[in-house]
Chains A and B, each alone.
Chain A
Amino acid sequence: MRSVQPSALSVEGLSHAYGARRALQDVTFAIQPATFTVLLGLNGAGKSTLFSLVTRLFGTQRGSIHIFGHDVARDPGEALRLLGVVFQPRTLDLDLSVGQNLLYHAALHGIGARDARARADKVLGWIGLADRAGDKVRDLSGGQMRRIEIARALLHEPRLLLLDEPTVGLDIKSRADMLDHVRRLVAEERVTALWATHLIDEVAQGDDVIVLHQGRLLAHGAVPTVVADQDAPDIHAAFTALIQDTADERSEAAT
């Protein structure tokens, strides 16, 4: 008998406040393994707060987060082991080589040097930078650095990959390449990806989408479903309609 596989990421009743300012309010969702989910929201919607909570940079104030069934607050070691993260700010050591950056990350996960080198070759192959291991990170382009960060996040073979606005500052071609890389990883390596962005054109028809606005979850589902629910022609219009509704509710409540 095979047990039912838990959700890749499940978030229940999550609220978070910075002093009086509420960044997340009662957010609940679950994403299934081997899916590509776009977390869509304007700046300040609460995307980074959500990521900081999932990666345990902040402790949860209310609600709970599970990664493949492991509670992030109670069992952080097992939860974080299954998690790979690409942060919004660049986090590579510019003075070190690509290989040294990857080895350091592997060590942080308890992976020894020999094993780490083999894995580094593999992940660099995936992202098409197999010949750049010896190069200084400083000498790479912005797009290449981002791809290295994805390779690094995959080094310890996580099952869930979080990407916080990974295309910020990239040109159109690099952006498209990044999306291709990650979608391919989901399709071929069965990784689960949660991709946060404020750029609606990064959403594809086959993706799942979560719409976050002013700390509230407004919609979650396959893109065609979310679009149909709003009677909108496309995801662009659906997103506008969703955040318009909130604005209306707010003004009604105020009068």
Chain B
Amino acid sequence: MTALPVPAPAGFSLAQYLICLKGIIWREGLRFLHQRERFVSALVRPLVWLFIFAAGFRQVLGVSIIPPYETYVLYEVFITPGLMAMIQLFNGMQSSLSMVYDREMGNMRTLLVSPLPRWYLLSSKLVAGTAVSLLQVYAFLAIAWFWEVEPPWIGYLTVLPALVLTGLMLGSLGMLISSVVKQLENFAGIMNFVIFPMFFASSALYPLWRVRESSPLLYYVCEFNPFTHAVELIRFALYGQVNWLALAVVVGCTAVFMVGAIIAYDPSRGFIARRGGGDA
């Protein structure tokens, strides 16, 4: 009885890396299309803020002329970049939730036993999640246009690289969190301890100079919140401008979160093994 000869080690070609990336994005897209409720709720959430909250607060909050705006803007226009970032924040946390869920259901295992390097698999997963968030953001922008949120046409193009970066940052933050969150029901915890503080202690809903007037401490908290910089990067890019400080912070945070997530999912150092991954 002889067994078949074992194929010789061949390594992986660039084409194989690309096939893998394409496959992961394709699956993420299919899953997204099959979960129509997820798409609807991803759209309804920011629209509620835009249609109801912003309308109510229009008279309460006066927004003076601050860069990148050249004229007085409606409150709706002011909070749109924050809501775009919020879509990506939720998407990042939701795909982190789906990682925890996937891991319990075993899908994460399917991904991680691929022979391609693990950092590549996790990065591909991040890119796929970011691509899904872009669909959501542009769908939101399309609806917001009918609500008098009309950035310059070129802005729709210049905001794209900014959205890719912020999507990666928030996605990698979610991935990092998913490696330390143990159970499915902890999404409520993520809402309370991650999403709400990040969203409210930022420049998403109010300009920071107004925050400083009421509480200098909160102002510093906002300044140190990476989400503030994600919002500002999007805000400037939507008007064809670059906010260099925001760009630097977003790039730096993306790098830190990604490296953290890759270390966390590394089999020899990671938290998966330390926790025992459930059953023995």
Q: A residues bordering B, Cβ < 8 Å? A: 5-6, 8, 18-19, 21, 23, 33-34, 44, 46, 48-49, 52, 55-60, 68, 70, 73, 75-83, 85, 87-91, 93, 95-96, 100, 103-112, 159, 189-190, 192
Contacts and interface: CB of A to CB of B under 8 A. Distances in A.
A91 B22 contact: no
Given A46-B280, A192-B3, A57 B109 contact: yes
Given A55-B113, A105-B110, A93 B267 contact: no
Interface of B: 1-7, 9, 11-13, 15-17, 19-20, 22-24, 26-27, 30-31, 34-35, 104-107, 109-117, 121, 266-270, 272-277, 279-280
A57 B106 CA distance: 11
A58 B267 contact: yes
B280 A48 contact: yes
A82 B268 CA distance: 21
Contacts of B113: 55-57, 80, 83, 85
Contacts of A5: 3, 5-6
A48 B19 contact: no
Given A6-B6, A52-B277, A159-B3, 16 more contacts: A8-B3, A55-B109, A57-B277, A68-B6, A76-B115, A83-B113, A89-B106, A89-B109, A91-B105, A93-B107, A96-B27, A96-B31, A107-B22, A109-B20, A109-B114, A110-B16
Given A5-B6, A59-B267, A110-B20, A91 B272 contact: no
Contacts of A91: 105-107, 109-110
Nearest 5 interchain pairs by C-beta: A107-B23, A110-B16, A59-B268, A33-B3, A91-B106
A77 B268 contact: no
Given A89-B106, A107-B23, A57 B34 contact: no
A108 B116 contact: yes
Nearest to A136: B34
A87 B108 CA distance: 11
A189 B1 CA distance: 12
A57 B19 contact: no
A100 B30 contact: yes
B65 to A, nearest CB: 49
B23 A108 contact: yes
Nearest to A111: B19
A109 B114 CA distance: 6
Given A91-B107, A108-B20, A18 B9 contact: no
B34 A95 contact: yes
A169 B238 CA distance: 54
Nearest to A96: B30
Nearest to B30: A96
9 contacts: A19-B274, A23-B276, A52-B277, A77-B12, A80-B113, A96-B27, A106-B23, A108-B110, A110-B15
Given A70-B9, A109-B114, A58 B277 contact: yes
Contacts of A34: 1-4
Contacts of A159: 3-4, 6
B226 to A, nearest CB: 30
B3 A190 contact: yes
Given A56-B267, A57-B112, A89 B26 contact: no
A56 B268 CA distance: 9
B102 to A, nearest CB: 9
A224 B117 CA distance: 42
Contacts of A82: 6-7
